[in-house]
Structure 1
């Protein structure tokens, strides 16, 4: 299985920011740790950094698997890592249904790269943090090579 490289992991960690108390993200979803969501996150929840690390690792493996399963074309390590960061943020269902993935799977690298900038809204509102994240994901996606091992 392909793994997220150091550049992709750094992008996720900087974008998600460690939070040890549950909070609602701009989309209204209960979130904790480094962007961990799901039925196990609830209002008032508090975790340790050690548990946040376990959540992050499980989430990373989940999204690496989701990206790998959805790809129909070979990608570089940097492309894979940018896609994992994107899927980590938007969710595997949204990733699988995205025009970004569809364009990539038809070999349209530049078209896929252009799609990152379309994913900058939450509940219809422009989110500056998503603008920054998508620009970083696009830049990593377009950077040739495999990057550094995480």
Structure 2
């Protein structure tokens, strides 16, 4: 799997574009779209500046690392919205933290809703809580049902690139769910191991719908 155009647009909105070096909320020198020296060149130092083209090129190079980290941490195929949400989380907390997280343990055990809840464990500093809530919503909700927000309390979802808006959802039969549970979506028809089927079902529906 790879980061979708929608996933990329919302991640850029969450990180923001800054063409001059600055200290982030925990004091780390940062530039561009959430780029720090830990991600590789350029080394971020006071006074560093990027052009817009350089900023986007650095992001495109950086994000490959986080996509690969999500693939490695969660071998099972995921719905695109859930995969994109994990890349957004990983971009913020780092590949090592994602790999050893309660979220990944629960997801690989087939507990997708428990994994969604575990996203909110990464709530420091407190300024990250609205972002984390939006990532949780993105993880749970198919793009055909609702587009993601940069932060949960934002008035409107992120505007997606031209031609990448999801198709209108088709009518389908779904199993009843408790109030507040994520919307159901049908699974692909191919057979899957039981543990993989449990992950997909918990993230949105079941085959045969």
- Do these two structures clear the TM 0.5 threshold for a shared fold by scoring above it? yes
TM-score normalized with structure 1 length? 0.87
Distance 2:9 2:121 in 1: 22
User: Which residues of 2 match residues 134-149 of structure 1 at below 5 A?
Assistant: 134-144=132-142, 148=164
Instruction: Tell me the equivalent position of 1:14.
Output: 13
Q: Distance in 1 between matches of 2:100 and 2:117?
A: 16
Matching of residue 99 in structure 1 with residue 75 in structure 2: no
Q: Flag the structure with more relative contact order, 1 or 2, with Cα contacts below 8 A and sequence separation at least 6.
A: 1
Q: Please point out which of 33, 55, 59 is paired with 1:56.
A: 59
| Partner Cα distance (2:26, 2:96) in 1 | 15
- Higher-Rg structure is 2
How far apart, CA to CA, are the structure 2 residues paired with 1:13 and 1:57?
Answer: 11
Please give the secondary structure, in 2, of the residue aligned with 1:138.
helix
Give 1:42 deviation, angstroms.
Answer: 1.3
Structure (1 or 2) with the greater strand fraction? 1
Shift of residue 14, structure 1, vs aligned partner: 1.2
Q: Does residue 1:112 correspond to 2:112, yes or no?
A: no
Which residue number in structure 2 is paired with residue 3 of structure 1?
Answer: 2
Structure number having the greater helix percentage: 1
Match of 1:132 in 2: 130
Please list the CA deviations of residues 89-136 of structure 1 after superposition, one character each: whole Å capped at 9, or x if unmatched: 1111111111111111111100000011121213xxx22xx1121111
Q: Distance in 2 between matches of 1:118 and 1:33?
A: 27
Q: Could you tell me how far apart the structure 2 residues matched to 1:103 and 1:43 are?
A: 40
Counterpart for residue 46 of structure 1: 49
Where structure 2 has 5 or more consecutive residues not aligned to the other structure, the ranges are: 148-163, 166-209
Count the aligned residue pairs. Answer: 143
Segments ≥4 residues shifted beyond 6 Å: none
Q: Secondary structure at the match of 1:121?
A: coil
1:27 maps to which residue? 26
CA RMSD, Structure 1 to Structure 2 (Å): 1.8
Q: Distance in 2 between matches of 1:144 and 1:47?
A: 35
C-alpha distance in structure 2 between counterparts of 1:119 and 1:82, whole Å? 14
TM-score, normalised on structure 2? 0.64
Is residue 2:79 matched to residue 1:79?
no
